[in-house]
Amino acid sequence: MEKLQKLRNKSEAEWAEKEKTEKGQGIKKERNTVAELTKTALMTAVFCVLAPHTVFLPGNPVGITFATFLLYLTGYLLGPRMGSMSVLLYLLLGMMGLPVFSGYMGGVARLFGPTGGYLLGYIPCVWIVGMLTKGGGSKKKEPVRFVFAALLGTTALYTVGTVWFLLVYTEGTSLSDALLKCVVPFLPMEIVKIVAAAALTGALRRVRQLR
**pLDDT level of residue 157 (50, 70, 90 thresholds):** very high
Q: What is the pLDDT of residue 9?
A: 55
What percent of the chain has pLDDT above 70?
Answer: 74
What string of H, E and C letters represents the secondary structure of 147-182?
HHHHHHHHHHHHHHHHHHHHHHCCCCCCHHHHHHHH
Q: What is the pLDDT of residue 211?
A: 39
**What is residue 90's DSSP assignment?**
H
Q: Report d(CA 207, CA 210) in Å as an integer.
A: 5
Could you tell me how many residues make up the chain?
Answer: 211
Q: Report d(CA 148, CA 81) in Å as an integer.
A: 19
Q: Which of 70, 82, 75, 99 is nearest to 38 (CA)?
A: 82
Q: Can you state the angle between helices 122-133 and 142-168, rounded to 10 degrees?
A: 160
Q: Which of 159, 192, 193, 156 is nearest to 73 (CA)?
A: 193
Q: 28-37, 56-65, 75-84, 200-209: which range is least confident on average?
A: 56-65
pLDDT in tens, 192-208: 999 999 999 888 777 65
pLDDT in tens, 95-154: 999 999 887 888 988 888 877 899 999 999 999 999 999 876 666 778 889 999 999 999
Q: Report d(CA 102, CA 115) in Å as an integer.
A: 10
Asked if residues 102 and 67 have their Cβ atoms less than 8 Å apart, the reply is: yes
Residue 172 clears pLDDT 70, i.e. is over it:
no
Within 8 A by CB and 6+ apart from 49, the residues are: none
Phi, psi of 99 (to 5 degrees): -80, 65
Asked if residues 43 and 36 have their Cβ atoms less than 8 Å apart, the reply is: no
**What is residue 176's DSSP assignment?**
H
Phi, psi of 54 (to 5 degrees): -135, 140
Measured distance between the N- and C-terminal CA atoms of the chain, rounded to whole angstroms: 54
Q: What is the pLDDT of residue 32?
A: 66
